[in-house]
Amino acid sequence: MDIGFVLQQIINGFSLGSMYALIAIGYTLVYGVLRLINFAHGDIMMVGAFLTFILLGIFTGWKFQHINMPLFFTAAGIAIILTSIVGILTYVIAYKPLLDKGAPKISLLITAIGISFFLESLFNVIANQYLGGTYQAFYFPKWFSKIIHIGDITIPILTIIVPILTILLLLLVLFILYKTKVGIAIRALAFDISTVKLMGANSNFIIAFVFALGSALAAIGGIAYAMAYPSIDPYMGMLVGLKAFAAAVVGGIGSVTGAVIGGFILGFVEVAIPGFFPELGGWKDAFAFILLIFVLLFKPTGIMGIDFERQRF
């Protein structure tokens, strides 16, 4: 086993882990504020990838030729904004009425699963009716499929861009949480919703903002995932969503930094298992979740474990 091979696996792990991390942040933010595991979050990631695909289709007259950087980033940008709106809508339509009526947390969880199925089915109908099939190839500028050769190692350029982007976005989220007024409000909301309301803060706006932020990050994760594995389908968010959830739990749900660390760890396990033990390649999903159980056995609150009575994010 040479050093180049190991290095390559590490880079791959980082890249896959960053996509999980981007989605895991959304899980963690929503959980921190509402104590809700938003199981529809994985599908939000699918919505981001699909909307980018649809917008690119509209821009290129469904030919998907000559996709250059400005075109791609315009499509991705609009898709990210639209995905945030979808995120806000799920909150306003599905969760808020339940919260207002004081429904138990378990009802919210079931609603989240319902939203998840709804989004999957909706995009399945769209894909089959208007796009010509469940599975679609994802197109993006050729530059992103560039491969850098350093000695024996081949590094797809995407595997460098995505982790850097993830770190930058993490810093941005931390900045928002700790240095802005909305951030302070989010952290206050995580402590006690009723008190924040009594203080005159608009809790609905803040929660909607949390959903928008989480959904935007999920959309970015989804687009990155679709570029790495250029085939999208309405069910792509299911397993990725579950793994991102596992990443959030491993990292310590409620902690943004933890979510990113959890994402990286999960990415490494998934790459390392088939990389170093190729025979076990087909079991990589199983190992990802075994890791989850293992971590929870020793550290029930996750790596950046948060005691919710004292600390937030």
Strands 136-137 and 231-232: antiparallel
Does 233 help bind other proteins (rule: CB under 8 A)?
A: yes
x-marked contacts with other proteins along 13-32 as a string, rule CB under 8 A: ---x----------------
Stretch that binds other proteins, among 87-95, 166-174, 206-214, 227-235 (CB under 8 A): 227-235
Min dist. Cβ of residue 8 to other proteins (A)? 10
Does 282 help bind other proteins (rule: CB under 8 A)?
A: yes
91 vs 268, which CB is nearer to other proteins?
268
Does 134 help bind other proteins (rule: CB under 8 A)?
A: yes
Determine phi and psi for 147, rounding to 5 degrees. -125, 130
Inter-helix orientation angle 3-34/41-59, to 10° = 110
> Nearest 5°: CA angle at 27, between 101 and 267?
160
Does 235 help bind other proteins (rule: CB under 8 A)?
A: yes
Does 229 help bind other proteins (rule: CB under 8 A)?
A: yes
Strands 147-150 and 153-156: antiparallel
Does 124 help bind other proteins (rule: CB under 8 A)?
A: yes
Would you give the DSSP letter of residue 150?
E
How far apart, in Å, do the first and last CA atoms of the chain sit? Answer: 40
Min dist. Cβ of residue 231 to other proteins (A)? 5
Does 130 help bind other proteins (rule: CB under 8 A)?
A: no
Residues 83-122 that bind other proteins (CB under 8 A): 121
Min dist. Cβ of residue 297 to other proteins (A)? 26
Closest CA relative to residue 137, chosen from 224, 235, 231, 211: 231
Question: How many angstroms separate the CA atoms of 246 and 258, rounded?
Answer: 11
74 vs 128, which CB is nearer to other proteins?
128
Min dist. Cβ of residue 89 to other proteins (A)? 23
The answer to whether 189 touches 196, Cβ cutoff 8 Å, is yes
The answer to whether 227 touches 138, Cβ cutoff 8 Å, is yes
Residues 175-204 that bind other proteins (CB under 8 A): none
Min dist. Cβ of residue 151 to other proteins (A)? 17
Stretch that binds other proteins, among 53-61, 83-91, 171-179, 235-243 (CB under 8 A): 235-243
Stretch that binds other proteins, among 31-39, 207-215, 277-285, 302-310 (CB under 8 A): 277-285
99 vs 236, which CB is nearer to other proteins?
236
Question: How many angstroms separate the CA atoms of 279 and 56, rounded?
Answer: 39
Does 290 help bind other proteins (rule: CB under 8 A)?
A: no
Min dist. Cβ of residue 235 to other proteins (A)? 7
175 vs 229, which CB is nearer to other proteins?
229
Distance of CA 70 to the CA centre of its chain: 24
Helix ranges restricted to H, the chain: 3-34, 41-59, 69-89, 96-100, 105-126, 158-179, 181-191, 193-198, 203-228, 236-251, 256-276, 284-298
Q: Is 126 helix (H, G, I), strand (E, B) or coil?
A: helix
Does 274 help bind other proteins (rule: CB under 8 A)?
A: yes
Binding site for other proteins (CB under 8 A): 12, 16, 121, 124-125, 128, 133-137, 229-231, 233, 235-236, 238-239, 274-275, 278, 281-282, 284-285
